[in-house]
């Protein structure tokens, strides 16, 4: 088979699997698991094959036109360069891991068939985005991902959080997609084609008339999909979905799509210094803000969600300094360790029966209950904190190196200001990232108090996947020396300055957190054993037993109960509270951005809606009712004439006859007289 055929099969297989799963899910439940795992696995293998054949060399281009589509043709095109090949491998591998993990995690879920089919569809859409050589076809995958995220985040639609979170995810990403679509049209109008090769050719030949406008419009869509400030607010709420979905959304698909899209069309963005600066500012604000917010979150998944936003900020920063190699490198390593972190977090929630870090900190023995999750999560957190030699270190260094080169003027593709912004924000975020990773680790695994409840061993599918993902989290960074051939050729290896600076800051952050935690623990009395420690546990206790059947739903219920009851965030030993000081409360609320949006957008829309409602009910309906009432009144009048008395009818009839006769005679006379 040619590389093109293989590449076509990569997105097609999960799509067919999803269609078959949706069709057969009810009638043949035995086929659901194979149909979920096998096409995705095959797609992953084929993606690896495609990557091997492409080999980072010349881009594979193929296109076929199904039907003429007017002035700007739309082709079913493939464009597989090094970026596409490796990102597809990442998507395939992570999706396969998620599917396998889900067979264990959601094995008793009644809606597993539709869930698995949607995950397959999600994967197919992402692979389509990755391989597509035509912007319109890419948009199809882009939007399919949007709707899939809506369905998957709302998987537990019985809970109001999941419902509102799915709606929020959908609406916020759509908010970005509208300018994105306009930007695509503007781009195609300038370039005269939707083909990516054509667009890039137009950029190099300078045929793009409005690069800044196009780039800013596209950036809106990218910010929505990749959860960049100010459209990031959907991502923390999207934690209402099952944990594997979070892993999928955060690691490989959805959020990666935005970064990947910019990487693919980087020349378009690089043509506009303003767009790069905007991107840099956006990335910096996102990075720092999300790291501060992550430090204050109590929900373990929300911590990871904010960390995703921060890491996406790194990638956006790399793009802002026009180094897409570093961005995609970080995307790959982040995909590996974030998938690992989420899946391990799922295991932790499963075992602890709660989402709340505070509740976990009052539990001991979690490490003995789930040793696999403990060790792999430690690996993932080390990678997240960018401690050498874990994967995160190398990829983050690549970003920092790119930023430093731009800042110092070695690279001139991007403005130096953007480089400085990204560099400073990146270093600051490295410090904060290590701090919140340390806090997460301490609270989750170094808790003191009652014994964690025992749910037995984790399913083998889940632990295996964790270890499989731990390998790239550990060693992926070592490929940095080889990967640059696949990308633009910029060196991805770390330099001494940034490595020392970044690692030093990370170590400082982690150490300070550890120290603060130790002091706080020492200062406060040993945690009250039975009564206070029992506060979160009874909430978790009754709910923890059925978590085996419905691990995430039950955890969501526990979380909801914990939020309604006195919040256990009054943990005096939480280092995040001490470190953030007065910033803690706003950071915990995501800097009140939701409230701002509520005041700025939701309230006016609601007010406008009520105005429209008023106009419709009171003004428009008045006419409608008036029409009805007048007809009714006329009917009433006519009805009055129907007395049933024949003489009345006859009187009217004869009177009319007389009148007609008189009129006829008068008219005849008048005619005769004239």
Segment lying near other proteins (by CB under 8 A), choices 74-82, 303-311, 377-385, 659-667: 659-667
662 binds other proteins (CB under 8 A): yes
Which of 171, 611, 620, 654 touches other proteins by CB under 8 A? 654
Binding mask 229-258 for other proteins (x = CB under 8 A): ------------------------------
Measure the CA–CA gap between 149 and 398, rounded to whole angstroms.
Answer: 30
Q: Which is nearer to other proteins, 623 or 636 (CB)?
A: 636
Give the shortest CB-629-to-other proteins separation in angstroms: 17
Give the shortest CB-674-to-other proteins separation in angstroms: 17
Give the shortest CB-647-to-other proteins separation in angstroms: 4
274 binds other proteins (CB under 8 A): no
CB 280 within 8 A of CB 321: yes
Q: Which is nearer to other proteins, 523 or 639 (CB)?
A: 639
651 binds other proteins (CB under 8 A): yes
Calculate the CA 62 to chain-centre distance. Answer: 30
> How many other C-beta atoms can be found within 10 angstroms of the C-beta atom of residue 478?
11
Segment lying near other proteins (by CB under 8 A), choices 41-49, 254-262, 587-595, 660-668: 660-668
Binding mask 620-649 for other proteins (x = CB under 8 A): -------------------xx-xxxxxxx-
Q: Which is nearer to other proteins, 66 or 641 (CB)?
A: 641
For residue 557, give the H/E element and its range. Answer: helix 551-564
Which of 178, 596, 605, 658 touches other proteins by CB under 8 A? 658
Q: Which is nearer to other proteins, 631 or 655 (CB)?
A: 655
DSSP for 84-113? HHHHHHHHHHHHHHHHHHHHHHTTT-TTHH
- Please compute, for residue 518, the number of CA atoms within 13 A of its CA located in the half-sphere on the CB side: 7
Give the shortest CB-669-to-other proteins separation in angstroms: 8
523 binds other proteins (CB under 8 A): no
Give the shortest CB-628-to-other proteins separation in angstroms: 16
Measure the CA–CA gap between 335 and 345, rounded to whole angstroms.
Answer: 15
In three-state secondary structure terms, 79 is strand
Number of residues that bind other proteins (CB under 8 A): 17
Q: Which of 459, 458, 236, 246 is nearest to 340 (CA)?
A: 246
**Residues written for the chain:** 674
672 binds other proteins (CB under 8 A): no
Give the shortest CB-630-to-other proteins separation in angstroms: 19
> How many other C-beta atoms can be found within 10 angstroms of the C-beta atom of residue 234?
24
Q: Which is nearer to other proteins, 600 or 652 (CB)?
A: 652
Measure the CA–CA gap between 290 and 183, rounded to whole angstroms.
Answer: 27
Q: Which is nearer to other proteins, 530 or 646 (CB)?
A: 646
Site residues (CB under 8 A) for other proteins, limited to 99-158: none
Q: Which is nearer to other proteins, 28 or 650 (CB)?
A: 650
- Please compute, for residue 589, the number of CA atoms within 13 A of its CA located in the half-sphere on the CB side: 11
Which ranges of 353-408 would DSSP assign to H, the alpha helix? Answer: 357-361, 366-369, 371-384, 391-408
Which of 625, 665, 671, 673 touches other proteins by CB under 8 A? 665
Three-state SS string across 455-483, please?
Answer: CCCCCHHHHHHHHHHHHHHHHHHHHHHHH
Q: What burial letters (b/e) apply to 285-318, b meaning 16+ CB within 10 Å?
A: bbbbbbbbbbbbbbbbbbbbbbbbbbbbbbbbbb
Measure the CA–CA gap between 329 and 398, rounded to whole angstroms.
Answer: 8
Give the shortest CB-621-to-other proteins separation in angstroms: 25
73-to-64, 186, 202 alpha-carbon distances in Å: 11, 15, 16
Q: Which is nearer to other proteins, 482 or 649 (CB)?
A: 649
In three-state secondary structure terms, 227 is coil
Q: Which is nearer to other proteins, 205 or 647 (CB)?
A: 647
Give the shortest CB-660-to-other proteins separation in angstroms: 10
Q: Which is nearer to other proteins, 530 or 641 (CB)?
A: 641
Segment lying near other proteins (by CB under 8 A), choices 190-198, 201-209, 464-472, 658-666: 658-666
Which DSSP symbol is given to 29? G
Give the shortest CB-648-to-other proteins separation in angstroms: 6
Q: Which of 397, 429, 411 is nearest to 500 (CA)?
A: 397
* Main-chain dihedrals φ then ψ at residue 78, nearest 5 degrees: -110, 145
308-to-252, 286, 294, 314 alpha-carbon distances in Å: 11, 10, 10, 10
Measure the CA–CA gap between 41 and 460, rounded to whole angstroms.
Answer: 18
Give the shortest CB-668-to-other proteins separation in angstroms: 10
Give the shortest CB-627-to-other proteins separation in angstroms: 21
Q: Which is nearer to other proteins, 66 or 671 (CB)?
A: 671
End-to-end CA distance of the chain: 101
Which of 595, 607, 655, 667 touches other proteins by CB under 8 A? 655
| Interaction site with other proteins (CB under 8 A) | 639-640, 642-648, 650-651, 654-655, 658, 661-662, 665
């Amino acid at each position: 088979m040619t590389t093109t055929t293989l590449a076509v099969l990569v997105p097609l297989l999960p799509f067919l699997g999803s269609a078959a799963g949706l069709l057969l899910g009810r009638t043949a439940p035995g086929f659901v698991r194979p149909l979920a795992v096998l096409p995705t696995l095959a797609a992953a293998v084929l993606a690896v094959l495609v990557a091997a054949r492409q080999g980072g060399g010349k881009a594979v281009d193929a296109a076929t036109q199904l039907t003429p589509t007017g002035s700007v043709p739309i082709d079913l095109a493939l464009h597989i360069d090094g970026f596409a090949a490796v990102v597809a491998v990442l998507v395939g591998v992570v999706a396969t891991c998620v599917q396998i993990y889900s067979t264990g995690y959601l094995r008793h879920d009644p809606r597993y068939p539709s869930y698995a089919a949607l995950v397959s569809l999600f994967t197919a859409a992402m692979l389509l985005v990755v391989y597509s050589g035509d912007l319109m076809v890419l948009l199809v995958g882009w939007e399919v991902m949007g709707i899939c995220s809506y369905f998957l985040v709302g998987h537990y639609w019985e809970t109001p959080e999941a419902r509102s979170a799915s709606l929020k995810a959908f609406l916020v990403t759509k908010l970005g997609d509208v300018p994105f679509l306009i930007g695509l049209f503007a781009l195609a109008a300038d370039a005269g084609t939707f083909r990516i090769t054509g667009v890039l050719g137009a950029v190099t030949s300078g045929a793009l008339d409005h690069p800044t406008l196009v780039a800013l419009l596209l950036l809106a869509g990218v910010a929505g999909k990749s959860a960049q400030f100010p459209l990031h607010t959907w991502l923390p709420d999207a934690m209402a979905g099952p944990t594997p979905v979070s892993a999928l959304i955060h690691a490989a698909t959805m959020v990666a799509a935005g970064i990947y899209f910019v990487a693919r069309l980087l020349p378009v963005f690089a043509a506009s210094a303003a767009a790069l600066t905007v991107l840099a500012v956006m990335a910096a604000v996102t990075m720092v803000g999300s790291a501060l917010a992550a430090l204050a979150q109590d929900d373990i998944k929300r911590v990871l969600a904010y960390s995703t936003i921060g890491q996406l900020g790194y990638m956006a920063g790399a793009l802002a300094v026009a180094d897409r190699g570093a961005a995609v490198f970080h995307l790959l390593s982040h995909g590996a360790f974030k998938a690992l972190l989420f899946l391990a977090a799922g295991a932790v929630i499963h075992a602890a029966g709660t989402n709340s870090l505070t509740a976990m900190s009052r539990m001991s023995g979690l490490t003995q209950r789930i040793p696999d999750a403990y060790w792999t999560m430690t690996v993932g957190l080390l990678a997240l904190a960018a401690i050498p030699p874990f994967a995160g270190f190398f990829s983050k260094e690549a970003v920092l190196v790119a930023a430093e080169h731009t800042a110092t003027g070695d690279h001139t593709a991007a403005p130096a200001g953007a480089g400085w912004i990204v560099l400073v924000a990146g270093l600051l975020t490295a410090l904060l990232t290590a701090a919140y990773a340390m806090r997460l680790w301490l609270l989750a695994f170094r808790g003191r108090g009652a014994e964690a409840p025992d749910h037995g061993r984790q399913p083998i599918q889940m632990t295996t996947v964790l270890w499989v993902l731990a390998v790239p989290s550990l060693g992926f960074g070592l490929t940095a020396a080889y990967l640059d051939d696949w990308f633009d050729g910029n060196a991805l290896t770390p330099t001494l300055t940034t490595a020392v600076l970044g690692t030093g800051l990370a170590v400082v952050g982690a150490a300070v957190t550890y120290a603060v935690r130790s002091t706080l623990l020492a200062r406060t009395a040993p945690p009250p054993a039975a009564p206070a420690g029992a506060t979160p546990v009874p909430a978790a206790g009754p709910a923890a037993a059925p978590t085996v059947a419905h691990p995430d739903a039950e955890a969501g219920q526990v979380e909801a109960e914990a939020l309604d009851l006195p919040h256990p965030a009054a943990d005096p030993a939480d280092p995040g509270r001490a470190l953030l000081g007065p910033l803690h409360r706003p950071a915990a609320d995501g800097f009140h951005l939701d409230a701002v949006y509520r005041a700025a957008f939701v309230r006016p829309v609601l007010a406008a809606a009520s105005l429209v409602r008023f106009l419709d009910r009171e003004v428009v309906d008045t006419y409608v009712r008036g029409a009805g009432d007048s007809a009714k009144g006329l009917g009433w009048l006519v009805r009055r004439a129907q007395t049933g008395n024949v003489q009345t009818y006859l009187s009217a009839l004869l009177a009319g006859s007389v009148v007609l006769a008189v009129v006829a005679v008068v008219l005849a006379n008048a005619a005769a007289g004239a």
